Amino acid sequence: MYTLYWSHNSASIAAHYCLEEAGAEYDTVLVDMAEDGHKKPEFLQINPAGKLPAMRLPEGGIVTECAAISLLIADRFPQADLAPAIDDPRRGPFLMWLFHLNNTLQPAMLRYYYPDRITTEASGIGGVKEKAKEEIAMLWSRIDAHLAKNGPYLLGDRFSAADALLYMLSTWQECCPETYRRFPSVRRLAEKVRARPAIARVAEMNEVGPVVA
């Protein structure tokens, strides 16, 4: 049995989407970020970084990082078709998008949400947030152009775990107001992903509403 440590609408949701899509046997432990559950000693024993998500494996041991968990689940449940196989020509683009989203877009978002980690100057906070917003919009516009040309999914007509991650990020809109109105191909992908029954179940549990412009 897998155990996912999660909090509403945090980065745990991408991992959660994959577990549910895969039909994996798993249970969940709510680590309520609104109550600083991720900074409590019980959780720090699970992930000393104090971040979500974390997942306990059936064989023991913990994996953190939402993209790593997504890829692990995709690899362990190949019948769910969450990732192209290792020798599939789309494997490279799949990894590229998964890493790009987790390693470039998501950190820009984290700079917006945690600006005090970027500067020691209180007066610099506003500038850090503005710069992060600019970068996020630029990254969405590149992704949108790719999807307009090659979509509806990141890999064309094939859904993958990278789309689930993209969908999660597209719902974090305080850092990019009106993402769906500004980036219609991102919106099209989000609508298709949100319509998947497994994704809808997890989205509802996380209180993520339907896609609206």
Task: List interacting residues with ligand GSH (CB under 6 A).
Answer: 10-11, 38, 50-53, 65-67, 102, 106, 110
Contact 144, 56 (CB under 8 A): no
* Strand extents, DSSP E, 38-83: 54-56, 62-64
- Phi, psi angle pair for 167, to nearest 5°: -60, -45
Write down the least CB distance from residue 178 to ligand GSH, Å: 21
Give 50 or 152: the residue with its C-beta nearer to ligand GSH: 50
Alpha-carbon span 137 to 127, nearest angstrom? 15
Write down the least CB distance from residue 122 to ligand GSH, Å: 19
Write down the least CB distance from residue 115 to ligand GSH, Å: 12
Residue with the shortest CB distance to ligand GSH: 51
Q: Are strands 2-6 and 54-56 parallel, antiparallel or unpaired?
A: antiparallel
Give 37 or 124: the residue with its C-beta nearer to ligand GSH: 37
Residue in the block written with tokens 């449940």: 77
Write down the least CB distance from residue 148 to ligand GSH, Å: 26
Give 52 or 176: the residue with its C-beta nearer to ligand GSH: 52
Give 65 or 163: the residue with its C-beta nearer to ligand GSH: 65
Q: What is the DSSP letter of 114?
A: -
At how many degrees (to 10) do helices 197-205 and 184-194 cross? 90
